[in-house]
């Protein structure tokens, strides 16, 4: 049992754990979008993305159009500006509050509470994912793989490839590695069909 095998197993556990956490976060973000569509549907057109620190900060304190409409302008601007490093000025804050006052969003305290809790869960997941990524980076520095020198492959992608492939010497040809990754085309042709009747699909013999 070599150091390389140990590191690969650790890397596999971490990358798969991170994948699960990211997938869990994605579901929660969908819930945020759904809740905002109920409580303040106009907001999505006023901000670059609902899933920004500034928007989350505002919705955590004012979880709905009614709450934003009733907010003191100075305080609302401070919340947005602090969370966005000053990118929200007074005019943008006024536009958001005015839109909230004209909003067709529903007033539903239960949904507002759910929105607050969902954002809190996303923040917790963000912190957990950062910890996992720090561990992955530490392992990658220990392994010192040249895979990240390949254009287009960063730390996380490189770590996932190493974790799932393991020992590259297990594959005696590039084609076998491609098939393991599901990137190798195989051709099927019936004896009764011409070459034009042949078709191909991607082979997949490795880890999902």
**What's the pLDDT tens digit per position in 60-72?**
999 999 999 999 9
Please name which of 50, 47, 48, 61 lies closest in space to residue 99, comparing C-alpha atoms.
Answer: 47
pLDDT at position 205 = 67
Beta carbons of 21 and 125 less than 8 angstroms apart: yes
Q: How distant, in Å, are the alpha carbons of 10, 76, 77, 78, 141 from that of 72?
A: 50, 6, 9, 10, 49
Beta bridge partners of 185: 202
- Of 120, 141, 162, the one marking the end of a domain is 141
User: Both 110 and 194 in a single domain?
Assistant: no
Residue ranges of the chain whose pLDDT lies below 70: 1-4, 186-208
- What is the per-residue pLDDT across 14-50, written as a single tens digit (0 to 9) for each? 999 999 999 999 999 999 999 999 999 999 999 999 9
**127 and 175 part of one domain:** no
Residue 35 located in a structural domain: yes
* DSSP type of residue 88: -
- pLDDT value, residue 87: 86
Answer yes or no: do 108 and 14 share one domain.
yes
Determine, yes or no, domain membership for 162.
no
- Answer whether residue 160 is part of any domain: no
Return the pLDDT at 196: 53
Please say which residue of 125, 141, 157 terminates a domain: 141
The answer as to whether 155 is a domain residue is: no
Domain residues for the domain of 182 are: 171-208
C-alpha 127/C-alpha 189 separation (Å) is 52
Query: What is the predicted pLDDT for the residue at 145?
Result: 85
**CATH number assigned to the domain comprising residue 76:** 1.10.287.4070
- For residues 132 and 175, state if they share a domain: no
- Domain count of the fold of the chain: 2
Q: What is the pTM of this model?
A: 0.81
């Amino acid at each position: 049992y070599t150091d390389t095998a140990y590191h690969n197993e650790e890397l596999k556990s971490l990358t798969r754990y991170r994948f699960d956490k990211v997938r869990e976060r994605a579901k929660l973000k969908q819930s945020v979008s759904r809740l905002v569509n109920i409580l303040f549907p106009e907001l999505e057109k006023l901000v670059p993305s609902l899933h920004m620190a500034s928007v989350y900060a505002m919705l955590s304190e004012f979880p709905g159009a009614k709450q934003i409409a009733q907010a003191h302008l100075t305080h609302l601007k401070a919340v947005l500006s602090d969370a966005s490093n000053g990118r929200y000025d007074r005019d943008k804050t006024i536009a958001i509050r005015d839109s909230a006052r004209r909003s067709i969003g529903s007033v539903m305290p239960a949904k507002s509470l759910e929105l607050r809790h969902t954002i809190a869960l996303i923040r917790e997941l963000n912190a957990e994912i950062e910890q996992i990524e720090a561990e992955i980076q530490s392992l990658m520095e220990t392994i010192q793989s040249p895979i990240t020198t390949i254009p287009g492959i960063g730390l996380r992608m490189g770590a996932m490839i190493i974790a799932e492939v393991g020992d590259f010497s297990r594959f005696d040809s590039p084609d076998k590695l491609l098939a393991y990754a599901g990137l190798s085309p195989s051709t099927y042709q019936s004896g009764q069909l011409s070459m034009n009747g042949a078709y191909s699909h991607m082979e997949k013999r490795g880890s999902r």
